[in-house]
Amino acid sequence: MNTRKIIRSLNGVFPIVKPHGITSAEVLNTIKQQLYKELEIHKSGELKLGHGGTLDSTATGVMAVGIGNGCKKLKCLLHGDKKYQVQCQLGIATDTYNETGKVVTEMAYDHVTEELLRASLREFHGRIKQLPPLYSALKMNGRRYSDLAREGVEVTIEPRRVFCYEAHLTSFSPPYFGLLVSTGPGFYIRSLIHDLGQAVGSCAHVRELQRTKHGPFTLSDALPEDKWNAEQIMQSVTRFRNIIDKYYREYKMATFKDKW
């Protein structure tokens, strides 16, 4: 198969496993550089890539990537459901709500029991109002809140309505605990843990975060970094083409109904 035919076939959506310590944008750049080198592409803009939802640089797991014409279908995944495994720590709050931030509060946590955590988690089930973290990819006037915050610009964030399908305690060894969380679009796990810490009369932050499901994609579907090459990507795009097309049609129908 010649290079031009391969490029024409690279149109669709495929899942990858995002590694720790790299931003979502850097992931796309890494994949693009690999494909440009492998396919001997010299013209900038020959391949278009995008992703269907940002993961924090320290987070890992499933990330949907659009390539070529598949980029236009990423909207359906931005509005898709997601699942996460998260490891948390009680007694310490940070400005980023995760382990990368500056410690802003320390509180006692010895009163927090497994039963109290489980009971408090139920408060976050269903449709809730959630205040996104200041350090996030959300934008104001085209600039990320996180960049504005680092520059000392005062930012007012409004709470948003989000949906939590389930949030289960998977481990409890104070000050550490683990959760399995299933959410709708726009949900911030970091905000959930921050708010949960307050709900149990202490504070908390995220230590580790892994997305295990994104729309129709699971971890077992996703390409690890050593398989970010043209052949593997082409196979993955082909494998999921019908699934994504169906997902996209359903998204468009739902959007149309909402307008009416």
pLDDT tens string 176-207: 999 999 999 999 999 999 999 999 999 999 99
Q: Which residue is catalytic, options 56, 110, 195, 226? A: 56
Given a cut of 60, whether residue 123 has pLDDT beyond it is: yes
Catalytic residue flag (residue 195)? no
State the Cα–Cα distance between residues 14 and 239, nearest whole angstrom.
9
Each residue of 104-114: pLDDT tens digit? Answer: 999 999 999 99
Binned at pLDDT 50, 70 and 90, residue 146 comes out as low
pLDDT on residue 127: 97
Instruction: Delineate the domains of the chain, giving CATH numbers in brackets.
Output: 3-79+216-253 (no CATH), 82-214 (3.30.2350.10)
Please report, rounded to a whole number, the percentage of residues in the chain having pLDDT higher than 90.
Answer: 72
Binned at pLDDT 50, 70 and 90, residue 148 comes out as low
State the Cα–Cα distance between residues 189 and 245, nearest whole angstrom.
28
